[in-house]
Amino acid sequence: MCPTNKEGAALENVPAAMPTRESFTREDELSLASIWRTVLKHKFLFLCVTGLVFGAVVFHTMSMTPIYESVACLEIDPSRSSGLGLDEMMNEKLGDTDSSSRLTTEVRVIQSDTVAMRVIDSLGLLRNPAFSGKRVGGSVTDFSAMSPANREGVLGHFRGSLSVKALPNSEIVEVRFRSPDAKLAADVANTVVEQYMQRTLQTHYEGTVQVSNWLSQQMTGLQNKTLEAQGKLADFQKKNGVLNTGSDDSENIVTDRLKILNEQLTQAESDRIVKEARYRMAATGNPELIANVVPSTTLQVLRTQEAEQKAQLAQLNSKFGSGYPKVHELQSQIARLDGSIATEISNVGKRLEDEYKSAAKTESLLRAEFNDQKDKAYKLNEHAVEYAVLKHDVENGRELYDTLQLKLKMAGVTAGLSSGYVNVIDRAEVPAHPIEPRVIFNYVLGLMGGLLSGLLLAFVAESMDDTLSSSEELELCLKLPVLSSIPVDQLTAKIAGSDKLGAMLPLLLNDPRSPAAEAFRGLRTSLLLTSPDRQPKIITIVSSVPVEGKTTVVVNLGVAFAQRGESVLLVDADLRRSAMHVHFGLPHSRFGTSTALTQGLNDQAIITPIESLPNLHLMPAGPHPPNPAELLGSKRMAELLATMAAKYDRVIVDTPPILSVADALPLAHIADAVVFVVRSGMARKKAVLRVRDLLQRSNSNVVGAVFTFVNLRLEHYYYAQRPYYGKSAPVYYGDSDQDAS
């Protein structure tokens, strides 16, 4: 339970959102909360725009004609042979063409006007209302009788309904056609495929026939050129002695003989070198070398006998001495053997010399003949380029002639064959369901578009609206704290006897549990906390324009202070349009502020409007004087307020609007605290800033502002789902036997 003071009044806590220095300097931030507040502020515009956009989309969707789409699938493989094989021959000579570019070419062929006109004529689409509609006159059914504009319109409509797409990384082509008639969509898609294949067949047939005719014309000239080239080659061979014996151009009698002579010369040179070496060894006279080079049986036998006799001689000489007769005999035999060996060596040397001379002569003859043949080869080589050119012409002519002759024979067969690189995978079927309109998608898109459009217009309206709608905006504008935000209460916000929304009745008495009543209690606490050391006694309530709830704030603030046990005097200083007595249900009084200033203070000028609050007093405005500004700015007014401040705990002064008249500025100057009342949704920033500047120039002590007629849903501290004061308020105030926590 809340603690109470000695008079029994509850001690209010400090307001939940006391303004701080940061609140005066922070900038607007785009957040979900700010977007939500903007939508709530302009909810009528937001809902209207959203409804209009969504309704337009719904109407458009409902009025759309259902569109059906049928699909046919083709396989197009441009790499297959198309007939004569000339494409392969061109690819070999010029390089292969990119298959993707060829597939793109075929797609463009399907989309061509030629195929379109064939399909239109084949199906009689000009006479079909599902296709032509009102584009062509009823009697015009042929392209030749149509104007260029109508022809272009029909072809444009056909192209717009036809869609041809090659699937990525494949050779599959999809042919799609859209129409309000499901069967017509399938027929057109299939007919497009058929007409494309017929055009391809016809194109290849005509091309084959044309190539065949051209080949026939070229055959005669090519044959004559080949024969002429062969004649030139034969004359050249005869003139230069070139006989071609094989496929190799280098094989002829000159080069062949040169090769043979080269081989023979090499062999003769090798034989001469060997025999010369043997002859040189024989010339040394060394029997051992001669025996190794030229093995001879006679020489070997003689040397063997000589060796045997020399051995016997050495044996006898060592045994019997040199005078022994057998020794002399052996010496004679050895001498004879030496002579025989010398003779044999001379014979071998002579024979090796003869062999060497013969080999040298043979080598010399072969070298002379080789050099002569080499000179002939050099002369032949000088004509090799001409020979190669002539032979190349003959071979190319013969090869091209044979190829063209083969293709010409194939032309008669391939001319009657269809193109083999187009294959129908799936024929178009009659679709069961339309693809347009997409109702759910359109509705969702319309709703999203409506929400975005409404949100955009709400922000546009917010940017063009300079009125203040939240206490946060008011703090940023005034650089002053908002002491309290007074919410709108539709049940208690009407003046008695009036049907117009005006100032609130004393809610602290009629509905003390309402959020508005609690806001006034918070205002009272905020004023007491503005200067704890010296609490304000004279409080002046001001506003910029009329109908901002200024008098309502005065009345309820006075009641709040009176409920706290203080003696309070409410002074109605609006001497032009006084309305404070209306809040208490009192008639207009003949005594009040104006009479106190002109005639002096009397007992009839101050009344007690509420019997239950005897400490609450009221000084009505009294009769309207002709010079209210002079009276309120006079010394008497200052003295009157000083006298009342000495008598009462609080003196709360109600003033006229500052921007309407200048009556309130003198009263604001002499007050201990000035409270600026601003109405939500009506007060404009320029007007509020103007009032603040006027108050600052008059050296008024403006302690803060009160924001009235506030929509709590636009306040950042209000939670729409679980308000602090709602169904739980009676429990909190003690309607239940249990204490609220």
Question: pLDDT tens across 612-639, in order?
Answer: 889 999 999 888 888 888 888 889 999 9
Give the pLDDT confidence score for residue 384 in this predicted structure: 60
In a domain, 263, yes or no: yes
Give the pLDDT confidence score for residue 617 in this predicted structure: 93
In a domain, 396, yes or no: no
In a domain, 679, yes or no: yes
Q: Are residues 510 and 640 in the same domain?
A: yes
Three-state SS sequence of 520-570: HHHHHHHHHHHCCCCCCCEEEEEECCCCCCHHHHHHHHHHHHHHCCCCEEE
Q: Are residues 415 and 445 in the same domain?
A: no
> What is 360-387 written as a DSSP string?
HHHHHHHHHHHHHHHHHHHHHHTTHHHH
Rounded CA separation 624/597 (Å): 12
Give the pLDDT confidence score for residue 152 in this predicted structure: 85
User: Residue 547, by phi and psi: left (phi above 0), alpha (psi -120 to 50) or beta?
Assistant: left
Report residues of the chain scoring pLDDT below 50: 1-27, 82-84, 86, 89-90, 92-95, 136-138, 245-250, 418, 490-504, 719-741
Give the pLDDT confidence score for residue 540 in this predicted structure: 94
Q: Are residues 89 and 139 in the same domain?
A: yes
Cα–Cα nearest to 41, from 549, 553, 454, 450? 454
Indicate the number of domains in the chain: 4
Q: Residue 440 corresponds to which tokens in the numbers above?
A: 């759910």
Give the pLDDT confidence score for residue 675 in this predicted structure: 94
Q: Are residues 570 and 682 in the same domain?
A: yes
Is residue 71 within 8 A of residue 99, CB to CB? The reply is no
Which CATH number do you get for residue 615? 3.40.50.300
Give the pLDDT confidence score for residue 492 in this predicted structure: 42
Helix boundaries (H) for 535-682: 550-563, 580-583, 593-598, 628-632, 635-647, 664-670
Question: pLDDT tens across 515-535, in order?
Answer: 888 889 999 998 988 877 788
In a domain, 244, yes or no: no
Rounded CA separation 317/331 (Å): 11
Give the pLDDT confidence score for residue 387 in this predicted structure: 66
Q: Are residues 453 and 334 in the same domain?
A: no
Give the pLDDT confidence score for residue 77 in this predicted structure: 76
Q: Are residues 317 and 459 in the same domain?
A: no
**Range of the structural domain that residue 332 is part of:** 253-382
Q: Are residues 713 and 622 in the same domain?
A: yes
In a domain, 158, yes or no: yes
Q: Are residues 93 and 201 in the same domain?
A: yes
The CA radius of gyration of the chain, in Å to the nearest whole number, is 65
> What is 144-174 written as a DSSP string?
GGS-HHHHHHHHHHHHHHEEEEEPTTSSEEE
Q: Are residues 60 and 89 in the same domain?
A: no
In a domain, 154, yes or no: yes
Cα–Cα nearest to 122, from 148, 141, 105, 150? 141
Q: Are residues 203 and 294 in the same domain?
A: no
Three-state SS sequence of 352-364: HHHHHHHHHHHHH
Cα–Cα nearest to 439, from 178, 181, 180, 62? 62
In a domain, 475, yes or no: no
In a domain, 714, yes or no: yes
**E strand or H helix at 308, and its extent?**
helix 297-320
Is residue 547 within 8 A of residue 500, CB to CB? The reply is no
Q: Are residues 202 and 294 in the same domain?
A: no
Q: Are residues 501 and 647 in the same domain?
A: yes
